[in-house]
Structure 1
Amino acid sequence: MSSHSYSVVAIVLLLGIFTTSTDALAILPDCKALGKYAVRANIRELIFVNVITAEPIQNQPVSIMPGYDCILEGIARIELDRSTPSNLCTGVGKVITEKFEDAKIPGYKPKDFIAKAVKSFYDSIGKMGVTGQFGCNYAADETKYRIACVFQGRLRQ
C-alpha cells in the first residue's frame, strides 16, 4: 500500500467518514417498489445487520460495509422458488446466489434462523467484500423457514 493510500485511510478514519451499523440502518432502503415481494422491514433489518456484522466483513481493514440493494432482493425472491441457484457472472461483477432452509420448530425464532443462515453464507459474503452489495428474501410456512440471498462483488479495476 502506498503512502498516499495510508493517508487517505487515515483521513477517512480520523474524520469519521464511515458508517456504523446504526447509521447504516438509517439508509437501509424500504424496497416498497417490490410490492408484495418485498421482505418485511424488520426481517430486512435482521438480515442486513447479520450480514454487515459477519466475520468476513468485520475482518476487513477498512470501516466500510456492503450496501443493500432492492433489485437483488427481488432477484432473491425469484431464487427462493428455483430448485437450484443460478450463480451468474455479469459484466458488473460476480453474482453469487445462496439459499438456506431449516425446519421451523418451537422456540426457533426467525432471528435465530437468519443468524444461522448468514453464517452458512460466510464464504459468499467474503467474496462480495465490503464494496459489494446484496439483497435477500425470506419466506416461512408452518414447517420451515427459507432464505435466499444474492451477493454481488465489485470488479477490481
Structure 2
Amino acid sequence: MKWDMKSLLGGIVIGSVLFSGIAMAAPIFPDVSEAKQTPFTYYFEGVPKSPASDVQGIMYKNSVYVPIRFVAENLNKPVIYDARTRSIYIGKLPAGKMYSKLEAIELVKGKFAGSITPAHVVEYSHDDDKGHYVIHVYQTHINNFQSGDSYTSTYGWFVVNPNSGEIRSLLQ
C-alpha cells in the first residue's frame, strides 16, 4: 500500500479530531496532583479519633477535605446519600420535598426544552442570598479552532426555589 499526500492529510485530520476531545476535556477535571493524603487526627469533644486508613482526609489548596460519613457519625448524626439526586443528608431528612441542584438543572432543561439545543450548557452556578439555586444556561462558540479563541453566549440566568421547584429569570 502506497501512502500519498491525500492519505497523510486524511490521517492527520482524523487523528486531530479524535484526540481534540482529550484536550477539550482536560480543563474540566481539577489538578489534584498537589493534594496530599494526610493522616489527620480528628477530635470530637476532646477525644481523638481516626477514620479507616482508606478514608483519610486530604489537603488541597490550603483546605482540608474530610470524609463526611466519619465526621457525621462521630457527631452521632446519620448520613444518607441519594445517588439519584446526588444529595447528602446529615441528621434529619427535610420535612417536605426539596429539590436538589441536579433536579433544579433538570427542571430548567425541561422548561426550556423547545428553545435550547444540546449544545447549550445548563449548570448550577451558586446559591443566592435566599438559598435558591442560580442556574446558568449558555453556549460556547469557537471562533478559531487553531488558536482556541472562543466566546460564551448566555441564554439566561435562572433561579430555582429548592422548596417549590419554581423557576424564574434572574433578570426579572
Give the alignment's TM-score, normalised by structure 2: 0.26
TM-score w.r.t. the length of structure 1 is: 0.28
Task: Specify which structure has the bigger relative contact order, considering alpha-carbon pairs within 8 angstroms and separated by 6 or more residues.
Answer: 1
Counting strand residues as a fraction of each chain, which structure ranks higher? 2
The structure whose residues are more often helix, as a share, is: 1
